[in-house]
Amino acid sequence: MRCRIAAQNDLCGDLREDERFEIRIGISLGEVIVEGEDRYGDEVNVAARLQELAEPGGICISSKVANEVRKRLDIGLQWLGEKRLKNISEPIGAYYVDVDQLTDRPAQLGISNTTCKPSIAVLPFTSIGFDEDYFSDGLVDDIITALSKNSSLFVVAKNSSFTYKGQVIDIRKVARELGVRYVLEGSIRKANDRLRITGQLVSGVSATHIWADKFEGGLEDIFDLQDRLTDSIVGAIIPSVQRAEIERARLKRPESLDAYDFYLRALPHAFANTPTDTDQAILHLAEAVRLDPDYAVAHAYSAWCYEQRFLRGGYHTADRERALFHANVALNQVHDDPQALSIAGFVYSTITHDNDTAMRALERALEFNSNSAIANNFAAMVAMFCEHFDRAVEYAHRAIQLSPFDPLNYHAHLALSWVCFFRAEYKEAIYWSETALRSNAGFTILHATLIASQVNAGHLQSALASARRLLDIAPTWTIGGFAQMRVVRPELMDQFSSALRQSGLPE
């Protein structure tokens, strides 16, 4: 390792660009077969494939090498994940090496190796058409602040990311130097009284785009525009990072999974909110909590999954008790995690009908981060349960505005459909129910809401067809089971039950 770092520094160090001789180096560790001048074997092949992952002038090593050299040398190591290499049967753990740093002390891992949180750096945006950079710098500052309020992210401070201002950058090099998995970059262009802002979220490992979009607005009120653009960009980034993290965990080998990986694997199943998916999510979350008993957000999602199973799986006491156990753990362990607080608060509302405790948890979550889409989603539901319909509508639209593609937005849509139903605005209730079903077609409560709205709107034939679809999805579904949720006053649940009976659904 000392030899290869010295070689790279000599070949590429302080030389002019036209004098550099940039090569890629891969290092693995294991048996090598020697026959005359030939060297071959599995580890030779691994080393050859690892060098293909390195940049020109860079070094990529296997996890076996990393485990040995980190005991003796202080070098920066950036985890690349488990890689499937050509003609190699098993995935190989791979690391980048920081060739600028070498001392005879134990190695220190980069940021992304010492925390399970996804890490992100927001680089200065390129500014075009401005005399000064005050607007672009202010926008980036706001984005960093807003992202930092999300407890599930590790966000590099502005002072670090702004050292790259005005430089031509290599995303992977920046990611390694800052120790992050994701980099957000962008540009701001002004033409007359209009602004166009483009943003790209890039993987720091592969340099591939995870998300890209553009936003436009007028300059009438520049600070209001800055706030709206910040909300739009942050609302798009967070679910994009979450999707990328879920995919990263899905590709890891089972024996290498940690608590965070199990939590990530559970999320798509928890979001789906169907009996089969709920059971799968509970298994993953149980492993996460076993590995890390103090993992508050894993407890919160466990509470929600047991709540799902209780309300749509027969109202078994054991499921209710497990839901409340995990909700209590989450509420007692965290005071500043909007995700854990809002999920645990929502479970309290649906399981115990203690809406005061639920709203206190949700309001606390929104105090810490008013831009939390999940907190606004669940606040919309609980406010609707409390018959605070105007507040419910406000929370729901805020959630949709913050994160238009959020997988949990069907809660906001559901809250809006129930508010419209109780206000006898049945056409609007149909619209929001259908919108929600496009996000989660397997959620039976949405089907029941659509059917009741169609009946009361006078669309009986549509209601009969919708009822058949519901029973195709859930053959054992009954009106009595739906009404037993009792999340709103009995008189309001009776409105649903009366309408549902007209569609021929079983009692």
Q: Of 302, 338, 341, 295, which is closest to residue 322 (Cα–Cα)?
A: 302
392 inside domain: no
Dihedral over Cα of 478, 303, 236, 80: its sign? negative
H-type alpha helices, 251-337: 259-272, 275-291, 296-312, 317-333
256 inside domain: yes
What residues make up the domain containing 260? 252-369
Tens of pLDDT, residues 13-31? 666 666 767 788 999 999 8
Tens of pLDDT, residues 54-67? 877 788 899 888 87
Tens of pLDDT, residues 326-379? 999 999 887 778 889 999 999 999 999 999 999 999 999 998 888 788 899 999
391 inside domain: no
Q: What is the CATH number of the domain that holds 336?
A: 1.25.40.10
Of 181, 216, 247, the residue that ends a domain is 247
492 inside domain: yes
Same structural domain for residues 323 and 238?
A: no
Q: In this prediction, what percent of the chain has a pLDDT beyond 90?
A: 41
Specify the number of domains making up the chain: 4
Question: Which string of b and e fits 461-480 if b means at least 16 CB within 10 Å?
Answer: ebbbebbeebeeebeebebe
Query: Torsion over CA of 372, 377, 382 and 388, rounded to 10 degrees?
Result: 90
- What tokens were used for 474? 């859930």
- What tokens were used for 158? 């502005």
pLDDT at residue 338, as a whole number: 87
Same structural domain for residues 300 and 204?
A: no
The Cβ-side half-sphere exposure at 157, using a 13 Å CA radius, reads 2
Same structural domain for residues 362 and 433?
A: no
pLDDT at residue 107, as a whole number: 39
Dihedral over Cα of 286, 289, 293, 299: its sign? negative
Q: What is the CATH number of the domain that holds 232?
A: 3.40.50.10610
59-62, strands of its sheet edge to edge: 25-27, 59-62, 92-97, 77-83
Same structural domain for residues 127 and 202?
A: yes
Same structural domain for residues 16 and 80?
A: yes
pLDDT at residue 105, as a whole number: 39
Q: How far apart are CA 346 and CA 25, in angstroms?
A: 52
Q: State yes or no: pLDDT of 437 exceeds 90.
A: yes
Q: State yes or no: pLDDT of 106 exceeds 80.
A: no
Same structural domain for residues 156 and 89?
A: no
pLDDT at residue 444, as a whole number: 93
- How distant, in Å, are the alpha carbons of 83, 204, 462 from that of 432? 43, 38, 16
Per-residue pLDDT band for 102 (boundaries 50, 70, 90) equals: very low
Same structural domain for residues 301 and 227?
A: no
Bridge partners for 212 per DSSP: 200
Tens of pLDDT, residues 317-326? 999 999 999 9
Burial class (CB in 10 A: 0-12, 13-18, 19+), 176: buried
pLDDT at residue 103, as a whole number: 45
